[in-house]
A and B are shown apart, each in its own frame.
Chain A
Amino acid sequence: MTISVPIPSLGLTEDQRAARERIYAAPLAELDPGDPESFGAQQMYWKFERLRAEDPVHFTAAEHSEQGAYWSLTKWDDIMAADTDHETFSADAGITLHRPPAGPVESDINYEANALGGQLRSEDGQIVQRERQDGLIQSLLSMDPPQHEVHRGAVVDGVSPANLKAMEPLIRERAGAILDALPIGEEFDFVEHVSRDLTAMTLATLFDYPQEKRGKLTFWSDVMTAIPGPGAVVETEEERMLAIREFFEAFAGMFQQRASQEPRVDFVSLLAHSPHAQDFTFAELQGDGIVLLVGGNDTTRNTITGSVYALNKWPGEYAKLRANPALIPSMVSETIRWQTPLTHMMRVATKDTELGGKRIAKGDRVALWYVSGNRDEDKVENANEYVIDRKNPRQHLSFGFGIHRCLGNRLAELQLRIIWEEMLARFPEITVVGEPTFSHNNFIKGYDRMTVVIPRRNG
């Protein structure tokens, strides 16, 4: 089955219109915007569209959601307010909505199955355990101050402006080699052959991991965010746990090796040589490892794929870009807004509070839906449209704001800029064939596959 992204200006198909009507006809209280189904089918936009208009700060009760009870923030200003108030909205409860199946997971590395951050939760999604303890995953992304600063500070030099300058020629050379190897006039999967490969190479550099084994890194990264099931990268929770364990073992090995070597600027060495290294718990290091692995991987991959997809959906914008490559940086920012590679961040209220006229109780989970805020017409003009030369393209929510703001945002932009400079130099056009396969995932918004054809090289 192919599904198209709803683009109002391009009109909706019959199926889409029907799906949208169903969403508008459903009782508001039953609306579960985080349901992964609606992401796979690209129908979440209408849920958010309705919520922004009718119930911007929305509560989904446990009985209407497979992910436990949670609040949804759908308007730009509310998202911004929560993201920048880490005292009221803590990241310390795991930063994704996805709730793994209840029950302990067989593993002697004992951590919560929601590998991106953690707390123990009871069936109804309430946090029953808020103490930090060894064995619970805690990453820089899910830490609050003052710990957050120590961990972020340890790795920040890995993507410093100076380091990025040094990486630029490397990324350009790799981009060139990838593009020169592509077939002309023949269909291929753009995700596999371009987006995934370029970002995998960058990831291997960031970890100083052998390039020839880089597929392992992307496999582990995919596993971390996977919702196990038929056709997914792992089919069962057990399989997922095994793969995660394998990553932890590899990471621990690298850590020990780097600790015994001269300091360098890869993430593992930076952690190993941090002045606070001896205070880091095993669980914290594992958490940092996961975030550094996942953070820059599918986000950037999906933005690269998304840029080709969007420029095909809006051929007028593609024409503008071809005519004026100086628009690349603003096209990159616009793609990051339009794509919103991470749909949300999860927070937990540390005290009773009020937002948008709703009372949020201490302990409640709150999803900050960047994917909705980025389409908020009160903040972004023609928000559903993809416009590569809009006025303030950099003002989007996709990188978050406040102390957890994306550490790798410049690196993401750099990779996007380079691949587009190299693509424009080679190909007049990259044509999307049919519709891509959208990831069945409510956290990572992206593409599993996208068939394209390159009709010819530049004359």
Chain B
Amino acid sequence: MVKVTFVTQDGAAHEVEAEVGWKLMEVAVNESIPGIYGDCGGQAQCATCHVHVPPEWRPITGERNAAEQAMLANAYDVTEDSRLSCQIIVSEELDGVTVDVVDS
């Protein structure tokens, strides 16, 4: 188990336990984090799991893949930090990460 924190649009920080191997989106949906819906079941095809990941975590979370890029091209509030959280797999190294949830 590692700790991850979702900061929702209202500014509230939700610190939760996450199981290694899960998609970050699945962790959020499981904890009913507002703003993360996971409508496509985690296939990078709906953009309802959009988060901002701070740059210092990028070496661990990796870069966007092509499908993710195509969906983010049409999403709201897209920045350099934008990721679809269904494309981020929870690992030991991710322990302590904080991401911002973006409304979709």
Contact = CB atoms under 8 A, between A and B. Distances in A.
B61 interface: no
A161 B39 contact: no
A410 interface: yes
B55 interface: no
B73 A149 contact: yes
A156 B43 CA distance: 22
Contacts of A160: 76
A145 interface: yes
B20 interface: no
Contact of B74 (A83, A84, A156, A161): A156
A368 to B, nearest CB: 13
B39 A394 contact: yes
Interface of A is mostly: loop
A197 B45 CA distance: 33
A392 B47 CA distance: 17
Nearest to B48: A394
What is the interface residue range for chain B against chain A? 10 to 19
A84 B43 contact: yes
Contacts of B73: 149, 153, 403
B1 to A, nearest CB: 24
A402 B68 CA distance: 10
Nearest to B76: A160
A152 interface: yes
Contacts of A394: 37-39, 48
B76 A145 contact: no
Contacts of B43: 80, 84, 401
Contacts of A399: 39, 46
Interface string A386-403: 000000101100010111
Given A84-B67, A161-B103, A410-B104, A401 B40 contact: yes
B104 A403 contact: no
A401 B48 CA distance: 11
B78 to A, nearest CB: 10
A57 to B, nearest CB: 20
Interface centre among B38, B39, B41, B47 (most CB of A within 10 A): B39
A405 interface: yes
A145 B70 contact: yes
Interface of B is mostly: loop
A160 to B, nearest CB: 6
Contacts of A153: 73-74
A161 B40 contact: no
Interface in B27-44: 37-41, 43
Interface in A30-87: 80, 83-84
A161 B46 contact: no
B2 to A, nearest CB: 25
A160 B75 CA distance: 9
B39 A152 contact: no
Interface string B65-86: 0010011011010000000000
Contact of A395 (B39, B76, B104): B39
Interface string A76-106: 0000100110000000000000000000000
Contacts of B45: 80, 83-84, 401-402, 405
A106 B74 CA distance: 37
Interface string B45-69: 1111000000000000000000100
Contact of A403 (B39, B48, B71): B71
A146 B29 CA distance: 32
Nearest to A405: B46
A456 to B, nearest CB: 36
- Lowest 9 A-B CB distances belong to which pairs? A161-B103, A401-B45, A84-B45, A394-B39, A149-B73, A402-B45, A152-B74, A401-B40, A160-B76
Interface of B: 37-41, 43, 45-48, 67, 70-71, 73-74, 76, 103-104
11 contacts: A145-B70, A153-B73, A156-B74, A161-B103, A394-B48, A395-B38, A395-B39, A399-B46, A401-B46, A402-B45, A405-B45
Given A161-B104, A395-B39, A395-B40, 7 more contacts: A149-B74, A153-B73, A161-B76, A394-B37, A401-B40, A403-B71, A403-B73
